[in-house]
Structure formats: structure tokens, C-alpha cells
Structure 1
Amino acid sequence: MAAPWVILRRFLGVVPKQAEAENPAAISTALRAPPRVTILSVGPSARPEATRPDKVPYLIAADPTGLLICFTVGEAPSETVDLIVAREFLPPPGDPSRYPTTGSAEHIPRRPASMPATCNLRSVGLTPGLFAGDYVIAELQVGMRRAKLLRFFSRERLWIETDLPSPLSSMDREWAPSGVVAHEGRLWFLDLSWGLISCDPTTILPALRFHNLPPGRYIHEAKPFLHTIRCISVSNQMLRYVDIARDLDLDGRAAERKVVVWTGIPDPVSGDRDCSVRWLKTYEMSFKEIWNDPSYKDTQLPKMIPEIVLVNPRSPNVVYFFLRRSLFGVDVPAHRVVGFVKDAHKLVAPRCRRCVLPWDLAPSIANGNI
């Protein structure tokens, strides 16, 4: 089958030093068709500190441009000072017909002393640069009055810190970063409790713009479990917001839960596609409809509310969920299970549910079969 995308585990494998002769590549993997999960392995040459084998490689962002990887201590990392970008994936020697399985690693220099040394992983994104083959890494630190955008430009091999007006200056609440997605040449910094901040990090003086979540999705404070019932991602080249919602009956009491997907549409009234986003409800489906479908019954899963994992980057109808030990995809409008992995719990680190990312493969990678 064609393979335009894969699911990547965020906690990467490690090639031991003694096995480097057999596997000398900086990054290696065997791509697996969804819903199976692809696991990248990091070789000793890719590690920024050979004397710190305790630092775990963790995937921050996946873009056709490359993969942004950090190294940090701990099972559920939140900060790092060490970054690499994996690119130039190639087929094995002597077998060019196979899918690319090895890649190079570009070490990102640490920030100068004038900047904060540590990156907040939920505020860091990767996006293509202005020229072919270039990329930009950006971290947003935003307050009520001012914001800082810390950017690394691959062409210049340089970190730049830019002080900017905060888009939250008229709002009386703090920002709680939930992640970053790249879309339409912009980075979208997420707070799943109330909105998004977008900017074009390739410009000299980026404008930070705030965008509300879809109607009725604002909550007064961030919750630690929000990423299990809400997600924002890109699918079929559009911004998508997905959540598990609960209707109210005529008496105002909570009724059945359902999956709801909204699509972010550039506001045509503004005359500037970057100024605002209008959310259009794309579809919704109750879990009862999913549970009663024969395809769900075939999985032998219980009738329980699952956790949202990701959206198929090529088809917004297909949403992936975790339930107990299983990872499965559902064509939500058709309420049909379209993929199922029973023992996906083996891919999840303890106490960390942000465990996978979709990787929409570049055309140069996606021309073969898995």
C-alpha cells in the first residue's frame, strides 16, 4: 500500500555503543503502516553528549522538512537544552527500492548566554524556512504585556531572540502551553483551554495573533488531562480541532458523549488570511453509534470513553484513540473502526500520554510501499 504518513513514537530507541558498527546511521527506522507505530532509533553519533547515556531521546515535532528531537533526563520530559534535527532519509545501501530507513542528524548549537538556556517542549515548533532545505526552530514565551520569540535559523546557524508585544495584553489570564503545530508557513502555539497564537517565524519581526477556540470550548483554566479529550492538528492541509464533548438534554443535565471535529477557515471578512480563524463544525458522532457498529464489536473493546491520540493527516474523518491497552482508528462520520493495535500500551512510557505524533511524509520518502 502507499504510505503517505506514519505514526511515530515520541520516545525513541537507542542504539548501544557496542552495536554502532552494525548500525552506524545517526537515525534509523523501519517505517510501519498505521495504525502500527514506527519507532526511530538514535545512534551514538547523533547524541550531543556521548558521556550522558542517561539522556533519553524524545521527538518534539515531525514535519516533512525533518524531525526535531531533544535529549533530556526523565520519562515525561518537559524541558531540554539539547536539540537535533533528523533529515535526509535514505534507503539502505544496495536496495534503493525500499523505503528510506536511515537519516542524518544535525546538531543544533546551544543558545548563547544572553538567552534562556532551557526550552519548554510544549512551546517549541519546527517549520520550513524561506529557502529549499532550510528550517526554523521557534519557542514562544508569552506573558500579559510582552512576549519573546527565540528562533534558530538553519541557514545562518544562529539563534535570535525577538521581543514582541503580547497578543494577550487585553486578556486577564495566563497562557498554559499545550503544544505547537505547523501550518501554512506559520507556527500555531496551543493552549487547549482557550486559544491559539500564530506567527510566521521566518519574518524579521513576526506579528503574534491570538485565535479563539471554537464556540463553547473556552474553559476558565487549563486542566492537566485536556490533551486526552482535545487536540488540534493539521489534516488534509486544514487546521482541525477535535474534542470529546458532552451534550445537555432539555433539562440541562449532561447527556451522551460524542466526538466533534471543527475545521479552521481563514476569515474572508478580514481580507487577511492570517488575521483570524473562523471555526466550522465539520461533523459529530455519538460514541453510542461507534460502540454499536460491528467493527467496534469485533475489537472486543469495552464501551468506554477513550483518549484522543491524533487525526489522520490525510483524512480528517479518521481519528485515533487509546483505550486501555489498545490504539485504534475510527472513521467517525461512518462510525467504523478502520485500524486496531491491541498491545499499544507497550509503546507508551509510564505517566506520559503525549506518546505519538503523526508524520506526514515528504514526497521523496512516500513514493514506495510499507
Structure 2
Amino acid sequence: MASSSSSSPAPLWVILGRVALVQHDSIKDPGDLSVKLAVPPRPSIPTVPMTVHPKPDYDDTDKHPYVVAAADAGLLLHVSQWPFVGFDLDRDPPGILLVARDFVRTAVPGEARATSVIRVPDRARSHQAGISTIKNTGFKQRRRPRHPPLLPLRRRRLGPEGSELPLHVRPALDVETYPVGHKAELPRDIESRRMVRVSQGKLRFVEVARARAQRPADTLVVVWTLVFGASGVACWKQQCATSLARIWASDSYRATGLPTQVPVLALLHPSNPNVVYFFLQQHLFGVDVSQSMVVDYVRRPCRLVEVVAGHKRPPPISWRYVLPWELPCSLANGQTY
């Protein structure tokens, strides 16, 4: 399980809290866009200076900017003005998009700052397809010989689970159906029970499934992998599966002191598709589904910046609150604390 030791090495990836803190600095000391790195499952929280806001001198400035997407080359953030603050999942939400990149470590232990923050040019919305921030927007790496990679926006076709595609998958691929290997009711809070993510370079579908008449202990946690046959036809193959009963019965789960309640999906380990992270009460913890055991947990509650949605109700706790960030080489060295 995770350790709080001050000698812990810096992770190769972190759990990024989507909603950022805002640094209210004077004009003489504008501050930098930075991230306080932490070893998973503790969240890493970004801080955005007021100077990058559309109108930094106004009182109605967005106090809850959020991360749309993360890649090893940088972060994509959304910043707006009241009442369009926080998560706005509508088509073409008001505000601006920023790319923060070229992160380096600072003199503050565990802190990284972006040396480059670039505003994404406004789009000709009448001539281009709409975007919906975290629902269909992300990074695409464009490879050019002997040139550094560019970071254009990519529009993705998504279902309600928020799917995303690895870079090597053909751009024309549309994933419209999900595997049906277990008889389970369609949950009302689908964001907390299903998600599609990339892990180890492949597309994975994670579900927390339970039939209507089953007990909570019989709830299944299943990870599926999208595989391609010789003819190029894609199909879903079960990666691993277990039940909550098996997880709850393990010594590793009992050692956490957490209650035997159905958790909420948080994220998938970016390089180990067997490890799924969950929210339960105020804790984030990782479970190796193939072994039915907890592999990542700290007793300290997970402290995320409160998610707001302007004049709307905030979305329920789910994978929308966090995302994995595989760190660039400049940060994946040294020590975190």
C-alpha cells in the first residue's frame, strides 16, 4: 500500500484532481501555473494564477478552473467567468482553453510549474463541430520527423462513460457498443459504475455490475479490453473480474478499516489495467481486480477541491473528479516530498 514516508520516490504518474486552486497574487508577483505532486492514491492538485483568466481584474472571475485533459506533454485547462464556472459539460461552454506545458520542478518539495502557458485560439464555431470539454476533448500527438510533438485538440466520439482512444488506434474508429457479459441493471448513476479508459496503450471498459435481485456483496468488478483480430475486427475480451465479496473478505481490505459498501469508480491505472481505483466516503483506494486485494490506500482522507458547476448542480462524485497524469520525464525523477 502507499507509504507516507518522506523518502518516497517520485511516481511515474499521479492522480490529478480536475478542479484547480486559484492563486490570488498581486500584479508584481503573478505566480505560476503549478501542480503539487503527490504519490497515488493521494491527489495532486493544480494551482492556476489569476493572470491567465479572461478578465483577471473582474470580481466574477472563475474561481474553479478545471483540467480537461492530461498528457505527458502538458495539461489542457478550461477557464471561464461566472456563472459559467467549474464543470460545464454542455456543448461549446463559454470560456477559454489553455495548454500548460514544459513542466519543471521548483524549489518547493513536490511542486512542479509550467514554464509555458498558451491560450488555444478561439474556434470558428459555425464551421466546426462543437466541443464538450471533458466529454469529448483531449490531446492528440502529431508526429513529425525531427520536430517536437504538437498538441492540437482532438474531437472524440464518446458515450456517457467518457471513452477515449489511445494514439495508435485508427482515427476512424468509433466505439459505440460495450460488452454485455454480465446480466446487470443499467445504473441510474452510470458515471459511478462505468468508465472507458486507456491503460497500457489499449482501450479498457470498467464496470461495477449487479443484477437487480443480487446482494451488494455479489456486485462484480470487471475490466474488459478492446482487441483486434487478424482481419481488423474489434471485440471486447474480459481482462479480469472479481466480486466485492472477495475484495471485502481479503486481509488487505480489512486492514483499511473501510465499510463494506459499494464504491464509486474513480480511475484506471494508466500502465496496469488490473488495478482499478475507487472512491468510498472520503477515501481513494486501488484494487488489483485479478487478485481481489487492495494495493493502494492511505488512511488520510482524499482532499479534492470542491467541484462546482456555476448555476447548475455539480456532478456526483465519480471519475469526473480525477484523471491519471503520466508525468513527463522532467518530473518523473527525484523525490516527491
Counterparts of 1:323-342 in structure 2 under 5 Å?
323-341=280-298, 342=300
User: Which one-letter code corresponds to 2:98 in the other structure?
Assistant: I
Rate the CA distance shift 1:61–1:113 in 2: closer, same or farther, 3 A: closer
Superposed CA offset, 1:280-299 (max 9, x none): 10111110111111221122
Paired residues of 2:222 and 2:241 also in contact (CA < 8 A): yes
Match of 2:51 in 1: 45
| 1:58 counterpart (66, 85, 99) | 66
Structure 1 residue 47: deviation in Å?
2.1
Coordinate RMSD, CA, aligned: 2.9
Paired residues of 2:274 and 2:290 also in contact (CA < 8 A): yes
Counterparts of 1:154-193 in structure 2 under 5 Å?
177-186=160-169
Q: Percent identity?
A: 30
Paired residues of 1:242 and 1:259 also in contact (CA < 8 A): yes
Q: Unaligned stretches of 5+ in structure 1? A: 143-174, 187-198, 201-206, 271-275
Superposed CA offset, 1:346-369 (max 9, x none): 545264321111001123331333
User: Which one-letter code corresponds to 2:43 in the other structure?
Assistant: V
Structure 1 residue 180: deviation in Å?
4.6
Deviates more, 1:306-315 or 1:107-116: 107-116
Match of 1:355 in 2: 321
Runs of 4+ in 1 over 3 A off after TM superposition: 20-23, 113-119, 175-178, 207-211, 215-220, 345-348
Match of 1:160 in 2: none
Structure 1 residue 100: deviation in Å?
6.3
Taking structure 2 as the reference length, what is the TM-score of the superposition? 0.80
CA distance in 2: counterparts of 1:51 and 1:68, whole angstroms: 23
Secondary structure at the counterpart of residue 226 of structure 2: strand
CA distance in 2: counterparts of 1:177 and 1:92, whole angstroms: 38
Pick 1 or 2: higher relative contact order, CA cutoff 8 A, min separation 6.
2
Superposed CA offset, 1:265-290 (max 9, x none): 123223xxxxx422110111110111
- Tell me, yes or no, if structure 1 residue 125 matches structure 2 residue 131: no
CA distance in 2: counterparts of 1:287 and 1:120, whole angstroms: 34
CA distance in 1: counterparts of 2:125 and 2:176, whole angstroms: 33
Match of 1:156 in 2: none
Q: How many residues align?
A: 304
Rate the CA distance shift 1:40–1:242 in 2: closer, same or farther, 3 A: same
CA distance in 2: counterparts of 1:208 and 1:316, whole angstroms: 21
Taking structure 1 as the reference length, what is the TM-score of the superposition? 0.73
User: Which one-letter code corresponds to 1:9 in the other structure?
Assistant: G
| 1:92 counterpart (89, 103, 106) | 106
| 2:126 counterpart (114, 117, 134) | 114
Match of 1:24 in 2: 31
- Tell me, yes or no, if structure 1 residue 262 matches structure 2 residue 224: yes
CA distance in 2: counterparts of 1:30 and 1:210, whole angstroms: 35
Structure 1 residue 224: deviation in Å?
5.7
Paired residues of 1:63 and 1:360 also in contact (CA < 8 A): yes
| 2:23 counterpart (1, 5, 15) | 15
| 2:113 counterpart (102, 125, 130) | 102
Secondary structure at the counterpart of residue 33 of structure 1: coil
Secondary structure at the counterpart of residue 288 of structure 1: helix
Relative to total residues, which structure has the larger strand share, 1 or 2? 1
